[in-house]
Amino acid sequence: MGAGQDIHQASEMTERFEPPADFAGSAHVPSFEVYKQLHQRSLDDPEGFWREITDDFVWFKPWTQLQEWKPPFVKWFVDGETNISVNCLDRHVDAGRGNRVAYYWEGEPGDTRTVTYADLLADVQRFANGLKAQGLECGDRVIIYMPMVPELPVAMLACARLGLVHSVVFGGFSADAIRDRVNDAGARAVITADGSWRRGRVIPLKATVDSALAENASPTVETVVVLKRCENAVDWNDDRDVWWDKAIDGQSDVCPPVHLPAEHPLYILYTSGTTGKPKGVVHATAGYMVYTAYTSRMVFDLKEDDIYWCTADIGWVTGHSYVVYGILANGASSVMYEGAPNHPAEDRFWEIIEKYKVTVFYTAPTAIRTFVRWGDHHPDGHDLSSLRLLGTVGEPINPDAWLWYHRVIGGGNCPIVDTWWQTETGGILITPLPGATALKPGSATLPFPGVEPEVVSEDGQPVEDGERGLLIVRRPWPSMIRGIYQDGWGQSGHVGEFGDRERFVDTYWEKFPGQYLTGDGAVRDADGYFWVIGRVDDTLSVAGHRIGTAEVESALVSHSSVAESAVVGAPDPITGEFIAAFVTLKAGIDGDDALEAELTAHVGETLGRFARPKMLKFTDALPKTRSGKIMRRLLRDIAAGREVVGDTTTLEDLSVLASLRGDDD
Ligand code: WTA
């Protein structure tokens, strides 16, 4: 991997950035010593450590048992009862902080709204009553397919208030992808909008939901709630569809929260794995609540007067944890933005930071590399002096992009928290604490309290410092994935033992029993700093979006012209990786530019536009080993334009290699 290679070299660099003294002076974790003590205590005395943190939350029934760990199944705060919507909303309003702004929302066309905690609480309760009136009950699954508007967190929190298990589907996903998720989750309702704004155009969300549900393809869905956002025309099904405004019409703005057991599933979020079928990652109420709240506070050093902005879409886990739950649990004020970074102009983000005086800014390396390309004059034209802390997430950040971010956006005096985590981890696991940790550009640095990562070899032994290995986590943490959703989840007893047990074990636990396999490769340096290099399995990170090669392959072979396909990632200077597809066609069909465009579009329709291959090559055959395995390493070399290296003697047909490289062109 391109970025990975950079990082590996960077781990030998010695440049360090100490926390600025004035920052450290007022930080929640003000020194490295304090961090070390916290981390040590979290491992030595987890019970006392988490007790102090959880005391700040509202529990209908306080927990007495911290944890039940029957690998690979874990429960946290086992016998407690709570509700995350109460901890995100009522708790602050009850403390007299209802007038505090939860979201400064900026719509793409320039419309704005300011939503206070009191507003949000009233909206959530009204909408929750609306959902109840539709007949939804605790434990039912609800798919949410919405734009970045305040009603999206309202919908999530209303579900959480009632114990409905939401599954947010990113607005860029196609009808097929929605249908798969609706059916896997057995959803009874879908919440959507007429459309969403993207670069001045309306993306018709309701129409996409209609095609996902067409011809009774998803028989479990009884209700579709539709928010009016763009005023675009929509088809209507009277038996199924209800406008958001109608759903809340006449509903009370008081809705008592359901007292939920700690392990009640809060949400399902689908993520790509190594097979064609996305995994429904399940998170549990209390552990997720506590961990996202605590990481938000410590990693982003949240204070009363901060204006925080995370640019992630709520459709991904970063948005769940660090636009919605963890941030609201702290009663913090955030900016929420609906549109694209280059609409109407390439300085949109800097304009927003200046306008709202954003103090903490959290974005993805792919965005930073794009900003570098767009030019310094965009940020230079705005007053960014309100910023005091920067963050990144989603992929390794190459040191050049890090240094640019630090200098041009942070004015040379904002710490950068490079946060490593995953959909499955629920919250940040490896990260600097900005007042405590000396930074090395390209390293996510050190484990968060409660987290015990390690870099090991294939046989599970720790590798030497500076050697590459597999990143694992030795003990469970509160927001750990509880399992992969499967019909029947949570109907009794220990929810963790439900779901797709086999896939859960195979993916994360089989290799090193009792230790969580992240799927990432990493190096630990002599200072104990972690350098995450990238995925070691067949998932790609394209512009920070996680995409399974198998998903793209099955989208390709679902086209009538395609016989077989192999998809790999190759380094890209902006998006980290790009998708390269190698395709063999059925007999009698010739690959030409028109078919290439058609197949690319087909992947867009099947999965979503963000999953379209950037390179698509037709070939007479795919290179395979004698046992029939596709030689991906070789395809990766070809896609990257590298010399094909290594042992190719097991190639089934050496001429395939020549034709793929274009030697016969
Ligand atoms: C990658 C996103 C390096 C990693 C929160 C991980 C990172 C995958 C970082 C999870 C980082 C995330 N440095 N790599 N700071 N953060 N990754 O599930 O490969 O969309 O396994 O969660 O992103 O992607 P996911």
The preferred substitution site among 295, 393, 397, 484 for testing ligand 1, maximizing ligand atoms within 8 Å of CB, is: 393
Q: Which two tokens stand for residue 534?
A: 């990238």
Q: State the sign of the Cα–Cα–Cα–Cα dihedral 306, 307, 310, 314.
A: positive
Q: pLDDT above 70 covers what percent of the chain?
A: 93
Q: Does the pLDDT of residue 651 top 60, yes or no? A: no
Q: Mutate which of 420, 518, 538, 575 to test ligand 1's pocket (most atoms within 8 Å of Cβ)?
A: 420
Report pLDDT digits (tens) over 79-91.
999 999 999 999 9
Ligand 1 center–CA 396 separation, angstroms = 8
Q: Is the pLDDT of residue 351 over 80?
A: yes
Distance between Cα 532 and ligand 1 center (Å) = 9
Report the pLDDT averaged over residues 580-601: 95
The pLDDT-based confidence of 491 (bands split at 50, 70, 90) is: low
Overall average pLDDT of the 527-546 stretch? 91
Identify residue 518 by its one-letter amino acid code. Answer: T
DSSP H/E element including 555: helix 549-557
pLDDT of 115 > 70? The answer is: yes
pLDDT at 360 over 50: yes
Distances (CA, A) of 424 to 325, 559, 627: 16, 31, 33
* Percent of the chain's residues with pLDDT above 90: 85
19 prior amide bond cis, ω within 30:
no
Q: Which residues contact 654 (CB under 8 A, 6 or more apart)?
A: 648
pLDDT tens-digit series, residues 231-280: 999 999 999 999 999 999 999 999 999 999 999 999 999 998 877 788 99
Mean pLDDT across the chain, nearest whole number?
93
Distance (Å) of CA 128 to CA 211, 329, 351: 27, 19, 35
Pick the more confident residue, 397 or 544: 397
In 364-438, the DSSP E strands lie at 389-393, 416-419
Cα–ligand 1 centroid distance for 544 (angstroms):
8
Span 313-325, pLDDT tens digits: 999 999 999 999 9
Taking the centre of ligand 1 as the mean of its atom positions, its distance from the CA of residue 565, in whole angstroms, is: 26
What average pLDDT does this structure show over 14-38? 96
Q: How confident is the model at residue 487 (pLDDT cuts 50, 70, 90)?
A: confident
How many A from CA of 204 to the centre of ligand 1? 30
Q: Within a 10 A sphere around the Cβ of 25, how many other Cβ atoms?
A: 11
14-23, 274-283, 386-395, 495-504: which range is least confident on average?
Answer: 495-504
| pTM given for the model | 0.93
Contact 477, 425 (CB under 8 A): yes
Place of tokens 């710490």: 415
State how far the Cα of 591 lies from the Cα of 565, in Å rounded to an integer. Answer: 13
Average pLDDT on 419-424 reads 98
Contact between residue 194 and residue 243 where contact means Cβ atoms under 8 Å apart: no
- pLDDT tens figures, 147-186: 999 999 999 999 999 999 999 999 999 999 999 999 999 9
| Alpha carbons 646 and 264: distance in angstroms, whole number | 50
The alpha carbon of 273 and the centre of ligand 1 are apart by a number of angstroms equal to 13
Q: What is the dihedral of CA 185, 186, 192, 197, to 10 degrees?
A: 40
Average pLDDT estimate for 207-236: 96
Determine the average pLDDT of the residues in 73-98. 98
Residues 6+ apart with CB under 8 A from 158: 85, 124, 125, 127, 128, 130, 131, 164, 255
Query: Given this model, what pLDDT does residue 495 score?
Result: 45
Model confidence over 615-637: pLDDT tens digits? Answer: 999 998 888 877 777 888 889 99
Q: Closest residue (by CA) to atom 1 of ligand 1?
A: 395
Question: Which of 440, 546, 575 is the pocket-test mutation for ligand 1 (most atoms within 8 Å of CB)?
Answer: 546
Residue with CA nearest ligand 1 atom 20: 546
Report the pocket of ligand 1 as residue ranges, CB < 6 Å.
Answer: 271, 316-318, 393-396, 418-423, 444, 518-520, 532, 534-535, 541, 546
More reliable by pLDDT, 405 or 9 = 405
DSSP 141: E
Q: How far is the CA of 609 from the centre of ligand 1 (A)?
A: 21
**At 12, is the pLDDT very low, low, confident or very high (cuts 50, 70, 90)?**
low
